[in-house]
Amino acid sequence: MRILLPLAALALFAAAPAAACSPAPGARVPTNMELVERADLILVGTVTGGTSDPDAGNWTIAVAPVTAIKGELPPGPLTLDAMVAPDAESALLSNPYDLAAAHPQAEAGACNRYAFPLGTRVLFFLQSQGDGWAPAEGLFSRWAEDVLTDDAPWLTATKFYVEVAALPEGERGTALTARRDELRKDTANPVAQLLADDIDRQLAGPNPPLRDELPPLPDDGDGEPAALDTPEEIEGAAEAAAAAARCAAAAETDRQMARCQKRGD
């Protein structure tokens, strides 16, 4: 299946329909606990630079590790497929008091955040990929949110979820509930109430699907169901869509925009 994206629209950071990246039927946004469990490395890092090749449609950022919340601290800088924010509009920082929604760029057609202000400090959730690292699995996830201070609520929540994830599965609910109840007692502290609200979301369990499962297809005349794109094909198309969106965001000429369009085909 080929997904053709309105790349000029994707270059804007207004809220575009979530369907632009075509999540597979049944796909869910991971809860914050699920994101912690899936990540091989959870890292606070500073965006120190990047590379840009608009003609080829390739961008990377360099990340200097600060501290590892889960996994081993890398010995040197990391390179991730993302871009240094090309303008003030795309340099929007995460809302430090929103622990539920991903960065607004996730709703701009690419399914996940992909542009970062130079010098920002980010909490990255990463999975090992070959010799490098890639965003932890999950569309519209909080895989990379700014945490500019050591007491940022998202950093506090993540540290706690890492501790809970290390417990036997049967003990996790009890640990979450105990911490939630403790935070609820601090009624004069709005950050404590935000953290308690987020723990409630984890206790509620998995998020509902972004799209319902498709009904069975009619057969194509030979008794066999008609061909349907596999989840792997749909995931590949979504990755291509994300790359095309990053490309379009930084395109400066019609020629570069045309190259971006080819990345989405």
- Which pLDDT tens digit goes with each residue over 8-63? 333 333 333 333 577 788 889 999 999 999 999 999 999 999 998 888 888 999 99
Is 67 within a domain?
yes
Is 224 within a domain?
no
Strand-pair partners of 130: none
For residue 73, what are its two tokens?
A: 């601290």
Is 217 within a domain?
no
Is 2 within a domain?
no
Which amino acid belongs to residue 244?
A: A
For the residues 222-237, what does the mean pLDDT come to? 56
CATH number at residue 166: 2.40.50.120
Provide the domain limits for residue 192. Answer: 7-207+232-264
Predicted TM-score of the model (pTM): 0.75
Specify the pLDDT at position 227.
Answer: 52
Is 90 within a domain?
yes
DSSP state of 28: B
For residue 221, what are its two tokens?
A: 């005349």
Is 125 within a domain?
yes
Cβ atoms of 219 and 225 closer than 8 Å: yes
Is 214 within a domain?
no
Average pLDDT, the chain: 82
Is 50 within a domain?
yes
- For the chain, what is the domain count? 1
